[in-house]
Amino acid sequence: MKRDIKRFGLALAIAALCHSAAAADLKISALAADSTELDLFSPAADGAYIKSVDQSALKFPIAILEDRNGGFVVRLEGKKYYVNASDVVANNAYDVTAGCDNTFATELVGATRGIAGKGC
Amino acid sequence: MHRLLFACAAAILLSGCETLGTTPRWMPMALNNDTPYLQQLTPEKAKAPSDDGDVQEDVRKMQSLGLGLVYHPELEQLLNDELQRIKDASGFAEVPGRVFILASPTMNALTTDEGNIYVPIGMLMDIQSMDEVDALLAHEFAHTVLSHTDTDMLKEIQKKGTAAYAMVNRLGMDAGNADSVARRIRNGVALYMATEKVISPTWSRTQETDADKLGVDFLVQAGRNVNGMTALLGRLDQWDKINAKLRENDKPKQSMLVAAASSQFAQNEWQALLIQAFDPIGQQVEDGIAQAGHTHLGPEERLNDVNEYVRAHYRKAARPAVDSKTWRKVAHSQKSKRLAQSVAQSHTAFRSVSQGKSSAASNALAKSRHRDVNGQTFYQLALATVAEDRGRSKEVLALADASAANAYPSYRLQVMAQQAKARQAGGKADSAELKALYEQFDVYGRPAEFYYDLIRLADTTDNVGLKVELAVRCQAAYFGDANACSSGQKQAEAKQETGLVDGLLGIFGK
């Protein structure tokens, strides 16, 4: 029993480590070519528009806390915001069949494993 | 050989596709970017629902294309609930059509004239949220609303492809194991056509961008995060690569077709070499046409266009939290993954049979055996294709029988069953059963690729009326192209007509 708990704890620790490592790897390096401002939205369920921040007020790289499939959650001046993926240059990738939980036709894809949505 | 023919048909048809379609009543003459597209439309003028019979016929036709459809009621329900949500929010609630899951390893959704949307199961495995799948459905639904759906071009391509393999079948009849070679060629072409039909874009570049933009409007109206479209378009580049690979792999093996032509027409080694020399030329021409026909904008261009549109109209619109949980629970369940994997393996098996690798096909299918998969038509069809290749008529009949009661049966399996029965009866089909099969042909929307099989079966009976009717209807369907409307019975005449040069013309030029 004790051994099982230890194993479970170890697995949990590895999973947490992997997750934080993946999240730490995700960064915004710049605004998209034609943007001069970054639009900030609430990361809550309603996703309301909050404000736009001028490029000069931003310090890159900005760590991405969460990849939300088309947008990112970031922390700016101590507050969490949701930003559009299309407004920024980031090192995320929209994974396809080579993804970690997708067993479909993996032999067809030569792409390297990227960082996809949640749980990957 | 048929690829060149296919390519020429595509070139002619593509060059004419600008004239396709008319402006529907709810659309202005032209859409402009100054206001959201949806505001420029008048949904109250939308067309009344199509005849339910047409919608059903469209589904049955797709059931018989390639490996047909996947039966996954939970996922299908979720997709249709989302489509209805988009329809209701957009004001186009009465526009007909449902979503179905294609048993295809391709990565491109397809919308037909009847408003039905067919999404390959692999795409659903890649999509990560309700917002992203809604973006896909919104885009496809936009094609319907904007009246882009005109499948004439695809029908033409299918007909020409069918004519090509009928021709090749006729050529192969003299060879030692002619029937099995002809069957393999037929399977190869059927697979290619199924892949091609899904991959080949039907729309012009403008139509594609318009559907993206109207899709964005639909997405916002439905209360989804507009970034679902960004995520979807972000995956396009890699999906395109998968499609390109599939297109290449599913091309019926040219060497097999060239070998059939060589054995039929070449009098000596020189002539055989001459025939084989056409292979790379055909390849080049077809590749060129494939490029020209690739009317989809590049993923980056599409993404830029959409981003510009979103900034212009929805910059400060709310970005509701994406719903990944609901989506993944159903679409990425163990059952869904198993089904997706078995589609890929069934496709591999189908391809292996057409390449004469029956054992490899069996191995691929053995990996898929599972209670979630065993009753699926696509799986039974792949098993039956292997059984047919091995001359196991009983097995084919048992599989056809088992699949008859499925939610999405395939006409292909019914045809295979009749062919198996005819083989068991020493090459003669039962006239009454063939008549019943022919009646089913109408129910399935008369998929062009089966004319040749039906005609061959009819030729083994003494039912003159059926023979004449099939020939007349086939001629009408092919606009007088007689190649696919006569069976191997006439091959002696065909041989007399065609020498080496005519044979080459028949293969590469007709």
Domain limits, chain B: 2-332+480-509
Q: Do A105 and B105 touch (CB under 8 A)?
A: yes
Least Cα separation, residue B336 to chain A (angstroms): 10
Give the confidence band of A92 by pLDDT, cuts at 50, 70, 90: confident
pLDDT band at B66 (very low <50, low <70, confident <90, very high): confident
Q: Which member of B306, B315, B320 has the closest CB to residue A39?
A: B315
Q: For residue A89, what are the β-bridge partners? A: A30
pLDDT over 80 (residue B192): no
pLDDT greater at residue B66 or residue B134: B134
Cβ–Cβ below 8 Å for B231 and A41: no
Candidates A97, A100, A118, partner chain B, best to mutate (most B CBs within 10 A): A97
Give dist(CA B50, CA B303) in Å, integer. 33
State whether the Cα torsion A93-A96-A101-A106 is positive or negative: negative
Q: Are A103 and B307 inside 8 Å of each other by CB?
A: no
* Residue A112 in contact with partner chain B when CB distance is under 8 A: no
| Identity of residue B293 | G
Split at pLDDT 50, 70, 90, the class of B310 is very high
Read off φ and ψ for residue A16, nearest 5 degrees.
Answer: -65, -40
Query: Helix, strand, coil shares of chain A as percentages rounded to 5?
Result: 30, 30, 40
Please tell me which of the candidates A47, A84, A116 has its beta carbon nearest to residue B320: A47
Residue B227 to residue A41, Cβ atoms within 8 A: no
Q: Do A47 and B319 touch (CB under 8 A)?
A: yes
- A83, β-bridge pairs: A72
ipTM: 0.73
Q: Tell me the C-alpha to C-alpha distance, in Å, between residue B442 and each of B56, B58, B369, B475.
A: 12, 11, 33, 16
Place of tokens 């792409």: A111
Q: Return the DSSP state at B349.
A: H
Amino acid at B362: S
Closest Cα in chain B to A92 = B234
Chain A residues whose CB is inside 8 A of the B351 CB are none
Record: contact A46-B320, CB cut-off 8 A: yes
The CA distance from B469 to B471, in Å, is 5
| pLDDT at A109 (0 to 100) | 29
In sequence order, which residues have a C-beta less than 8 Å from that of residue B438 and are 6 or more positions away?
A: B454, B466, B469, B470
CB contact under 8 A, A49 and B322: no
A69 lies within 8 A of chain B by CB: yes
Residue B373 pLDDT exceeds 90: yes
pLDDT given for residue B25 in this prediction: 65
Q: Is B507:B257 a contact under the CB 8 Å cutoff?
A: yes
Output phi, psi for B87, to 5 deg.
-60, -50
A19 or A5: which leads in pLDDT:
A5
Q: Phi/psi of residue B111, each to 5°?
A: -120, 135
Look at A39 and B317 and tell me if their CB atoms are within 8 Å: no
pLDDT band at B372 (very low <50, low <70, confident <90, very high): very high
Task: Judge whether B105 and B66 are in contact, CB under 8 Å.
Answer: no
User: Which residues lie below 8 Å from residue B266, measured CB to CB, with a gap of 6+?
Assistant: B272, B274, B275, B500
Provide the pLDDT for residue B24.
Answer: 64
pLDDT mean across residues, chain B: 77
Highest average pLDDT, of B16-25, B67-76, B164-173, comes from B67-76
Give contacts of B 220-239 with A, CB under 8 A: 225, 227-231, 234-235, 238-239
Q: Tell me, yes or no, if B334 comes closer than 8 A to chain A by beta carbon.
A: no
Of residues B117 and B202, more confidently modeled: B117
pLDDT > 90? residue B42: no
Burial environment of residue B427 by CB neighbours within 10 A (0 to 12, 13 to 18, 19 or more) = exposed
Helix (H, G, I), strand (E, B) or coil at A41: strand
- The pLDDT, as a whole number, for residue B319 is 97
Beta carbons within 8 Å of B97's beta carbon, 6+ residues apart: B55, B83, B111, B112, B114, B115, B116, B117, B141, B144
Query: Which one is predicted more confidently, B464 or B213?
Result: B213
- pLDDT-above-70 percentage for chain B: 66
Helix (H/G/I), strand (E/B), else coil: B128: coil
Quick one: what percent of chain A has pLDDT higher than 70? 60
User: Model confidence at B284, in pLDDT bands (50, 70, 90)?
Assistant: very low
**Residue with structure tokens 């030729």?**
B459
> Quick check: B177 pLDDT over 60?
no
* pLDDT band with cut points at 50, 70 and 90 for residue A118: very low
Strand order in the sheet with A88-90: A49-54, A37-41, A79-84, A71-76, A62-67, A27-31, A88-90
Mutation for A interface: B129, B238, B367, most A CBs within 10 A? B238
Lowest mean pLDDT among B100-104, B108-112, B115-119, B358-362: B108-112
Q: At residue A28, does pLDDT exceed 90?
A: yes
pLDDT at B83 over 90: yes
Separation of alpha carbons B17 and B8, rounded Å: 14
Cβ–Cβ gap B225/A119 under 8 Å: no
pLDDT of residue B263: 54
Higher pLDDT, B454 or B179: B454
Q: Which residues are CB-neighbours of B400 under 8 A, at least 6 positions away?
A: B380, B384, B413, B414, B416, B417, B420
